[in-house]
Amino acid sequence: MTSTQVETGPATPLGGLPLLKSLAENWWLLLLRGIAAIAFGVLAFLWPGITLLTLILFWGAYAVVDGIFSLWSAISGKGGQIGSRWWLALVGICGIVAGVLAFALPGVTALVLLMFIAGWAIATGILQVWGAIRLRKEIEGEWLLILSGLLSIAFGLVLIAWPGPGVLAVIWLIGSFAILEGCIYAALAFRLKRHKRLA
């Protein structure tokens, strides 16, 4: 067996791929992010009487939890250097900062808080697309991360373009985004789990 066969054969699919190996080792963190997003989205639909401010505070809690999981994924990976996962660390930091701001500024208007959510969605979406571009040669399912990033960017732009279509419409928009994003995270997590089993 030649050295090329060893590097590309199915027995060592993660060999020489530190970024993918790191993400595969922590696939369950991505799954937890997905579950948290889906739970938040379902809550938005099941509690139609919720006020927009209350929903945003719930979103703040979700953003902090999501940020912690993302940051944990970036710093706890066994494969490669943290430098290869800087974008994932930034996603986590953005989530934590945005969530804390939602709690720290309860006196500001709901419109300002919506702009925080929009900014968070666009920033994390751009970073996820960047991360997917870095992963495109390491994993077949990188399109899921690209889709997640584009969905996040689109969500942020919609909030900026139409910030006041009505409280119920905004609640449904935020809930729909969270559920879709959560499903994409879960699908990507199971793809990464499969890569870990093959390692």
CA dist 138 and 39 (Å) reads 30
The one-letter code for the residue type at 130 is: W
* Whether the model pTM is above 0.75: no
Nearest to 89 by CA among 67, 111, 106: 67
**Would you say the C-alpha torsion 38, 145, 92, 50 has a positive or negative sign?**
negative
At the second CATH level, the architecture of 15-198 is: Alpha Horseshoe (1.25)
pLDDT value at position 10? 40
pLDDT value at position 13? 42
pLDDT value at position 118? 85
Answer for the pair 105, 113: CB distance below 8 angstroms, yes or no. Answer: yes
> So where are the chain's domains?
15-198
Exposure of 188 in the CB half-sphere (CA atoms within 13 A) = 28
CA dist 115 and 118 (Å) reads 5
pLDDT value at position 153? 92
User: Across the chain, how many H-helices and E-strands are there?
Assistant: 8, 0
Answer for the pair 115, 160: CB distance below 8 angstroms, yes or no. Answer: yes
Mean pLDDT split into 10-residue runs, the chain, 199 residues = 40 46 74 87 79 76 85 68 66 86 73 79 86 70 79 88 68 84 86 69
- Could you tell me where the DSSP H helices lie in 26-166? 27-46, 52-76, 86-104, 110-135, 142-161
